[in-house]
Amino acid sequence: MAANAPDSRQLYSVYRRLLHQHGAQNWWPGDTPFEIMVGAVLTQNTAWSNVEMAILNLRQAGALEPEVINRMPGRRLATLLKPSGYFNIKARRLQNFCRWYLDQGAWDALREWPTPDLRQGLLSVNGVGPETADDILLYAFERPVFVIDAYTRRLFGRLALLDVERSYDDARGFFEAALDSDVALFNEYHALIVVHGKDICRPRPRCGDCRLQSGCPTATAHQTDGR
């Protein structure tokens, strides 16, 4: 039932309100492009506080470099990743990514790739899906790509600006068509959506009768959308 035609004014209005409420976030929380890429993989369905512990482990082990991650035994890597959860899968995914990253010539080569090619390359890695790829494109390679995540769907779904059922690429196209193609804008907007989601735009409480993962669709009595 949600309106789906891109509406620039509404999207910019929401952006200004988020910025006013939360202040500039200056993302991504990570020092180097490669650390950002690692964080993007590790944060899949995982609280960032857990990811931080895993990245700290990697740093202390001198393993925040693709060559080191690649030649490390999978078991050893999984141990370092333990606090971030899904550590066996993530160890494999990180090594898949690092192998691809080095095979393509690492940063100096990849930074020259056109965005569509870079996106396809990232998606070709087993363990890198659309959101992880776009995190990397936007925050590491500074390409104007609008990241869609669970917080984005929840917030704009509740604002009735976005149909929650739309596909990832469709939802991304919705934002990219309505907003100026601006890296700084996309960067800050997504960061604000996440911060707002953690603080204010909470998940809907479960109704007790059903066990749907994202909350009972009929349990509408809540005051968690924020203003």
Partner DNA sequence: ACCCAGGGTCATA
Partner DNA sequence: TATGACCATGGG
Residues 95-124 that bind DNA (CB under 7 A): none
For DNA, give the closer residue by CB, 66 or 130: 130
Residue 166 binds to DNA (criterion: CB under 7 A): no
For residue 52, what are the CA distances in angstroms to 26, 91, 112, 129, 196?
A: 17, 15, 29, 21, 20
Burial profile 124-159: b = 16 or more Cβ within 10 angstroms, e = fewer: ebeebebbbbbbbbbbbbebbbbbbbebbbbbbbbe
Smallest gap from residue 46 Cβ to DNA (A): 5
Closest contact distance (angstroms) between CB of 82 and DNA is 5
Listed residue (58, 50, 120) closest to 95, CA to CA = 58
In three-state secondary structure terms, 58 is helix
Residue 87 touching DNA (CB under 7 A): yes
Taking CB under 7 A as the binding criterion, the range among 4-12, 65-73, 108-116, 143-151 that sits at the site for DNA is 143-151
Q: Could you say whether residue 128 binds DNA (CB under 7 A)?
A: yes
Q: Does 155 engage in binding with DNA (CB under 7 A)?
A: no
Q: Taking contact as CB under 7 A, which single stretch among the options 64-72, 83-91, 106-114, 169-177 is the one that binds DNA?
A: 83-91
Determine, following the binding rule CB under 7 A, whether residue 200 of this chain makes contact with DNA.
no
Confirm or reject binding of residue 85 to DNA (CB under 7 A): yes
Tokens 């009929």 -> residue: 218
Distance of CA 74 to the CA centre of its chain: 24
Tell me: does residue 197 bind DNA (CB under 7 A): yes
